[in-house]
Amino acid sequence: MTKLIIQIPCLNEAETLPATLAKLPRQIDGVDTIEYLIIDDGSSDDTSGVARRWGVHHIVRHRRNRGLAEAFRSGIDRCLAEGADIIVNTDADGQYEGADIAKIVAPVVAGEADICIGDRSVARNEHFGSGKRMLQRVGSYVVRTLSATNITDAVSGFRAISRDAAQRINITTDFSYTTDMLIQAGRKRLAITSVPIRTHAATRPSRLFKSIPRFIQQTGVTILRAYTTFNSLRVFVGLGMLATLIGLVPIGRFLWFYFSGDGDGHVQSLVIGGALLTVGVLVATLGILADLIATNRKLLEANMLKLRRIEEKLIEAEAQRTAPAALDTAETLRKAG
């Protein structure tokens, strides 16, 4: 039995949510059960009430707004607790075509991918302006390079995730999960693919960011943090070597004048060079410490994964133990009635 849960992070989506829910699939090849989950991220309107009236199976509500990354994280945790084999994340604003969920789920159902991203074909998408197209292409290139993947639409939130991948990914950013998740998945050697999807024109401005410069800043910080987390030794040792090489220039200048008999007036070059060499050594040392911390993180994540699977087995065993007792009680009540 394959269970799919479609999760939708929401913030004041009472008006757009019904149209989005109406377009979600009820049947998909290779999937036995489809359920819906809404993450109400501190909405001030009746988003949760609309979800209940439309028969949404699961509702997670934050008492105040925590941001998209936290909403995504809460949804994943609930989907795993509800026994989802595949999780699909989509938006509530109708940007994505609900029928295309079957397309992004197919590679996961077939066992060909752990994660499948809906590719909006940014370069040809008529709903994106030229500036946004350029930013999306540059950003996707950076993420593709740093994550060692071949995904051309890195910030697409329309994605399908296998249960195993969802258990292995630990979102650490407070902004947007998209790039953080891809860099993690690539560095953890999960199988990632993408399929072309359809999109619709935006019905409202983005609630994730207030301006393009703000989005670039936040995304850049997220990418840098995620990459450094998994490549700390390379980053810090590289920076340390750069500082060391720069420090060698003024030291070489001082030595040139010193052996030329004119070293007295150039001691400042020796001081600056020595300071840069010291900084280089310290930064490289930080890289070694950061790498040790990263190794510890891997061990912790491995233990978390084992604990999650042990909990699942215990829950399944408890369900199997209580099921016969529940049937006997029901049969007793039927006979008594």
pLDDT mean for each 10 residues of the chain (337 residues): 93 90 92 94 92 93 90 92 93 88 95 92 68 74 82 88 91 82 88 90 63 73 80 88 91 84 76 90 89 80 78 72 62 58
Q: What is the pLDDT of residue 325?
A: 58
Q: What ranges do the domains of the chain cover?
A: 3-230, 232-336
Q: What is the pLDDT of residue 314?
A: 75
Rounded distance between C-alpha atoms, residue 111 and residue 190, angstroms: 12
Per-position DSSP letters for 182-219, written without gaps between them: HHHHHHTT--EEEEE--B---SS--SS-SSHHHHHHHH
Tokens read off for 155: 């910030």
Which residues, including other chains, have CB under 8 Å from residue 43's CB and lie 6 or more apart? 10, 11, 12, 13, 14
Q: What is the pLDDT of residue 62?
A: 94
Which residues, including other chains, have CB under 8 Å from residue 119's CB and lie 6 or more apart? 151, 152, 153, 156, 194, 195, 196, 197
* Residue 173: Cβ within 10 Å count: 23
Task: Give the DSSP letter of residue 85.
Answer: S
Q: What is the pLDDT of residue 1?
A: 82
Q: What is the pLDDT of residue 337?
A: 56
- CATH of span 3-230: 3.90.550.10
39 neighbors 62 (Cβ within 8 angstroms): yes
Q: What is the pLDDT of residue 102?
A: 94
